[in-house]
Structure 1
Amino acid sequence: MSLQCGIVGLPNVGKSTLFNCLSNAKAQSANFPFCTIEPNVGVITVPDERLTKLAELVHPGRIVPATVEIVDIAGLVKGASKGEGLGNQFLGNIRETDAIIHVLRCFDDGNVVHVDGSVDPVRDKEIIDTELQLKDLETVENRIKRVEKIAKVGGDKNAKVEYDVLLAYKAALEEGKSARSVEFETLEEQKAAKGLFLLTSKPVLYVCNVDEGSAATGNHYVDEVREAVKEEGAEVLVLAAQTEADIAELETYEERQMFLQDVGLEESGCNRLIKAAYHMLNLQTFITAGEMEVKAWTFHKGWKAPQCAGVIHTDFEKGFIRAEVIKYDDYIRLGSESAVREAGLLHVEGKEYEVQDGDIMHFRFNV
């Protein structure tokens, strides 16, 4: 399952530094706008301590964690919706992602130039929001012109649904609201809305890039961001990108943990961000555990057993018979699959079983 989060923000807010920390790729990072011209893509692993604990019991040949793709996209400036800066390229790249990681500069440093001359993360957020909303409004208005006549006189039910969805989006965008603020009740409306691929319909995680001294506590800039986004239902995550870069350079786990303790953190900001991005996409993990490998498989929350079987192979879904399910806590407590079976805690589930995060699965199928 290939899923992408796009890192966006104004130039010089720390996007590429953060990307480098996340992916261990070395995107060019420099103190001038547009140093990232082509989107860099990094495949990052989702931290999951459950895999390590299972491996200690199973002794597999390898551990395979879940992954998410992170895309570092060129910095956006005011006027991007009209093609200013690298606007068209930026908007095209972000349209292809599933979710947005919006990096906001929340630190003072006279040696790092701000494209607008001063540090104001709320203003920066509004600049990008406005540009994305303007582009979406243009998309919606163009689409209305194409479907309006069909919806009104053609008797096409789908066109009527799409037209109503477009009008709802148009009203919200004209008020300066993002498309994700509009909720639709029927499945038909939701399907039509999804098919428009609007930029502001994507879920967003705000990342406040702070100085090292604020990594554990935040600062007044972070407080301003939280106040500005409190009605969006979006998560705000605080990290110090340069500090994360310093941590990433350390060779051993012990050294990294000591560094984290020194700045007052229990877990690195990168790990917290990866987990937050994974959950923002409404993703969960089921696990397969055997001598060959302990592997995490990504699925959408709410999926039934056959859909999850299809993540492994399409034949598993087509020929699905049943799923054998062990709860992670039972496996860890009893120490082996055979012990779980003997205790009567291996559950046999059918097609309607809704898979839960952390389920250890074995699928039976026939094709």
Structure 2
Amino acid sequence: MPPKKAATEETKNNVVAFGRVRKNLKMGCVGLPNVGKSSLFNLLTEQSAAAENYPFCTIEPNEARCAVPDARYDFLCDIWKPPSMYPAYLQVTDIAGLIKGASQGEGLGNAFLSHIQAVDGMFHIVRAFDNDEVLHVDDSIDPTRDLSKFFSFVCDTIQSELCKKDLDILAKTIISEEATVRKAGGKFKMNPLFPSTTTKIKAMLEQDKPVRDGTWTSAEIELINEKMQLITTKPVIYLVNLTMKDYIRQKSKYLPHIAKWVTEHGGLPRDVIPFSVEFEEKIHSFKDDPAALEAFMKDIKVKSRLEKIITEGFTKLGLQYYFTAGEKEIRCWTIPRGCLAPQAAGAIHGDFERGFIKAEVVAYQDFHDLCEGAKSMGPIKAAGKYRQEGKTYTVQDGDIVHFQFNVAPKK
């Protein structure tokens, strides 16, 4: 028998390990007032959420969903042409702007913080353009300062507000856990990791450092997920709102500073996505006039970034999907990454998980390369790419799956 792994084993890339293990996770659009949150939300979801030019135009969070673009899904739909087609969706929430002092009731105060607590990841929109006609909460434009207000520990910043909220959550969790142990009278014992983990979290938060930037073992992450709903464990994608001119020429005096700040504060280069609300709204205005859109895009080398924003948000939440394909329906079934076959079957129906027997699987790329433009699995089977998998199989993104299950009749 192999030796057990040490309890102190480090977990790398643990951002997606934090949070709820569910298929309907949400990304929230957050940032300072008047940076383009509601305008982006409208573009992503084709909704009509208010987007006026004054702080706190959005009070109650707007929620909608947007289809995840995928050429694989489009290919399968073109092959089968079924009457029912269901893509994967990203749930998006538009949240009011946050200002300094939220934890003391400034702006929308703790209501805002509770709205962030209700989502699973954040699109942090940063305004990186000068326009006197658009109000700014601090009456000047400085994206690196705006980022600091959300994520760093400089002088009562928004990051400090989030860390203060998490400190409050942590304190209540500790009190509750200690009270449970006392009331149990020895029948319930505290998790041995609890004191050391909470001490580590407290030390980070008191320095205004997000919990997600720490190095955690899988056991510690499991404990945090079970006992606490911390805001600063949530993954973040930084969306930098440029002018249409800057976006088209792919240059901005602010971008290098923003990219440097993000990488210095635990982020990756891919976590920064430059885009332009102005450019996206211009493209959207041509939605009913393909000829005008073609003329506008003729000499422009850049494309819309909405698809990238959606797919990166979906991936950042640790989500993926598999396909079921047939004459009646093509559907994407959203599951967490690392999901085993029985749990993946449960995304369709709980009975499928309980009565799971096996999964018949073909990787999307194998089907694409071997199907010869037809619906038949014959060529795939002939090539040995159609396989049967059991309960220990980890479903991969883009798998085409047919489940076999057995459900005992109800008594």
* TM-score in terms of structure 2 length: 0.84
**Shift in alpha-carbon separation, 1:224–1:257, aligned structure 2, 3 A:** farther
1:64 aligns with 2:94: no
Cα distance in 2 for partners of 1:319, 1:75 equals 47
Residue of structure 2 aligned with 1:88, choices 97, 106, 110: 110
What does residue 99 of structure 2 align with? 77
**d(CA) in 1 for partners of 2:287, 2:31:** 30
Aligned to 1:190: 221
**Using a 3 Å threshold, how does the CA distance of structure 1 residues 263 and 144 change in structure 2: closer, same or farther?**
farther
Out of 147, 156, 161, the residue aligned to residue 131 of structure 1 is 161
Residue 190 of structure 2 aligns to a residue in which SS? Answer: helix
State the AA in 1 paired with 2:301: G
Quick check: 1:144 aligned with 2:174?
Answer: yes
Relative to structure 1, the CA distance from residue 158 to residue 259 in structure 2 (aligned partners, 3 Å threshold; closer, same or farther) is: farther
The match for 2:201 among 169, 184, 187 is 169
Equivalent pair of 2:122/2:235 in contact (CA under 8 Å): yes
Q: For the Cα contact (< 8 Å) 2:164–2:205, is it kept in 1?
A: yes
* Aligned with 2:320 (options 277, 284, 289): 284
1:233 deviation in Å? 2.6
Letter in 1 for 2:380: V
Which residue number corresponds to residue 304 of structure 1?
340
**Which residue number in structure 1 is paired with residue 123 of structure 2?**
101
| Deviation of 1:53 (Å) | 1.0
SS of 1:158's partner is: coil
Count of matched residue positions in the alignment of Structure 1 and Structure 2: 365
Q: Distance in 1 between matches of 2:333 and 2:100?
A: 40
Q: Deviations over 1:43-96 (max 9, x none)?
A: 111001111111222221132110011000011111011111102111111101
Pairwise CA distance, 1:183: 2.7
| Aligned-partner Cα distance in 2 for 1:241–1:180 | 29
- The one-letter amino acid paired with 2:252 is N
Alignment of 1:140-289 (within 5 A): 140-147=170-177, 157-187=189-219, 189-195=220-226, 196-216=228-248, 217-231=250-264, 232-234=266-268, 235-252=271-288, 256=293, 259-260=296-297, 262-266=299-303, 268-289=304-325
Distance 2:238 2:246 in 1: 16
Name the CA distance, whole Å, in 2 between partners of 1:160 and 1:154. Answer: 14
Q: Which residue of 2 aligns with 1:321?
A: 357
Paired residue type of 1:290? G
CA contact (8 A) 1:6 1:101 kept: yes
Is contact 1:206–1:237 with CA below 8 Å preserved after alignment? yes
Corresponding letter in the other structure for 1:107: F
Unaligned runs of 5+ in 1: none
Contact 1:5–1:101, Cα closer than 8 Å, also in 2? yes
- For the residue of structure 2 that corresponds to 1:70, the secondary structure is strand
Aligned to 1:359: 399
Q: Which of the two has greater helix per residue?
A: 1
Letter in 1 for 2:260: E
Cα RMSD (Å): 2.1
1:255 Cα deviation from its structure 2 partner: 5.3
Distance 1:100 1:52, change over 3 A: same
Distance 1:255 1:90 in 2: 41
Kept after mapping to 2: 8 A contact 1:99/1:202: yes
Taking only the aligned residue pairs, the percentage that are identical comes to: 40
Residue segments in structure 2 that go unaligned for 5+ positions in a row: 1-22, 151-158
Letter aligned with residue 320 of structure 2: Q
Cα deviation digits, residues 19-62 of structure 1 (max 9, x gap): 00000111111111000111111111100111111122222113
- Separation (CA, whole Å) in 2 of partners of 1:156 and 1:222: 53
Q: Work out the CA distance in 2 between the residues paired with 1:289 and 1:197.
A: 37
The separation in 2 between residues aligned to 1:209 and 1:12, in whole angstroms, is 11
- Residue pair 1:38, 1:74 contacting (<8 A) in 2 also: yes
Deviations, residues 107-154 of structure 1 (Å, cap 9, x unaligned)? 111111111011111221222322211211222234334445877996
SS at match of 1:220: coil
Task: Quote the residue 2:12 is aligned against.
Answer: none
1:271-309 CA-to-partner distances (Å, cap 9, x unmatched) read: 110001011011112111111121111111111111111
* Secondary structure of 1:2's aligned partner: coil
Give how far 1:250 is off: 1.8
